[in-house]
Chains A and B, each alone.
Chain A
Amino acid sequence: MSKKYTILVVDDSAAMRMMITASLQDSEFEVVGAAKDGEQALQLFKDISPDLVLLDIIMPGMSGVETLGHIMALDKNAVVVMASSMGTEDAVQGALKAGAKNFLLKPIEQDGLLKILRTTVSSL
């Protein structure tokens, strides 16, 4: 059986967490944790050390980019894909400069999600 990549999904929207988890069912990516904010994400990241993190940018409290900074401080090799509905040049470049490996534009659909995640893990 091919390798399963563990993934931590971070999004303040329960609807989005549900959609992402459903989209990754039966794929090589297994959602092992879901967090609704940055603080919960950091705790889960420490606890479960996922292979990848899918991290929403616009969240209440700690933003996605701030959360990314903390994750990179915990593990400089962390593989983080940022997600946002705002695909401006600034948003994408800001996320990549902060250490994200890739950027996913919302709304998220299964094919696009799998493509981005597969591209991300193939470049590791």
Chain B
Amino acid sequence: MSAKFIGQFLLEKGLITREALLAATVHQQRVNLSLGGLAVAKGLLSTEQADAINLEQQRNDKRFGEIALEKNLLDLQQLNELLLVQKEQRIFLGEILIKQGHISRERFESELAQFKQDQKRSTELVTVDLQSLPQHEVIEDFLDMTLKLLLRVAKEQVKITSVSHTGKQFPHTIAQRIKGDRQFDYVLALPEKLLLMLCERFLKVKCAVVDDLALDAAREVVNIITGNGCAKLSVRGMKVSMEPPRSITGAAPDKAVCVGMSSVTADFEVRFYF
């Protein structure tokens, strides 16, 4: 598996241990506050107001600050100050690994340059592959909403890693049909670990096993992604509707577009069956 995040890159090259990466990631998450977390810490927003903005972000395509301004919860000066503080306080994973003595600065900087070069090449290839698809506008709209909503609903950062017509095997596959001016199935194929994580972060309850509730929560996450995707198509002047999401089995059909995705938790796929 090729690395999609710098920590994973260093781990795969045997330059740091799994324990060191985990500890550094936990430290980074504790130090790097979200804009909402920062506004709450500074007494500019209540926890409830920040939560409400976070949830509104799941229903539209706007940034936290944009919504806070619209709701008159923050003014422009407060927002700019928060963004500045956030930038100044932000700590990068590499810095933590260096400070904790897991890697030297010189080695890290050399590896980072290599990683960035690999990523640039990979992104260029994926972009070319996506744009060569006949339905690329629709696919790009839905992929964009997938990345944004997984970050907002599940706090999971995701990268697109590949585009092909051959799907990999995953234990859980959820599909939702879009009808109207564009007709296709949006499909999320994911491993158990990611499904449980989605369930926990969506329902805010512990999900230890894949049961009906966990599958139901994952279907609802798909429903939110496709609902937002359809809203984007609607802005483009297309009339579309959706069927309820459903769990499916079996391999991807021959002409499926299978988009490989990678998150910190696991690799998964978004597929489009036209």
Chain A interface residues toward B at CB < 8 A? 12-16, 18-19, 58-60, 84-91, 105-107, 109, 111-112
* Count: A-B pairs, CB below 8 Å: 70
B186 CB to nearest chain A CB (Å): 12
A107 touches which one: B55, B212, B244 (CB < 8 A)?
B55
Report B-chain residues with C-beta under 8 Å of the C-beta of A107: 55, 58-59, 153, 202, 220, 224
Interface residue ranges, B against A (CB under 8 Å): 48, 51-52, 55-56, 58-59, 153, 202-203, 212-213, 216-217, 219-220, 223-224, 226-228, 230-231, 234, 239-244
9 residue pairs A–B, Cβ–Cβ below 8 Å: A14-B216, A15-B202, A85-B223, A85-B228, A90-B234, A106-B220, A106-B223, A106-B224, A107-B202
Once the chains are docked, how many angstroms separate the CA of A111 from the CA of B59?
Answer: 14
Q: How far, in whole Å, are A88 and B230 apart by their CA atoms in the complex?
A: 8
Which residue on A lies nearest to B205, using beta carbons? A18
Further contacts, 11 of them, CB under 8 A, given A85-B224, A107-B220: A13-B220, A14-B213, A16-B220, A60-B244, A87-B59, A106-B220, A107-B55, A107-B58, A107-B224, A109-B52, A111-B52
Nearest A-chain residue to B215, judged by Cβ = A15
Bound state CA distance, A89 and B241, in angstroms?
12
Q: A15-B203, A88-B234, A112-B52 are contacts. A59–B244 as well, Cβ < 8 Å?
A: yes
Tell me if B203 and A111 are in contact (CB < 8 A): no
* Assembled-state Cα–Cα distance A15/B203 (Å): 7
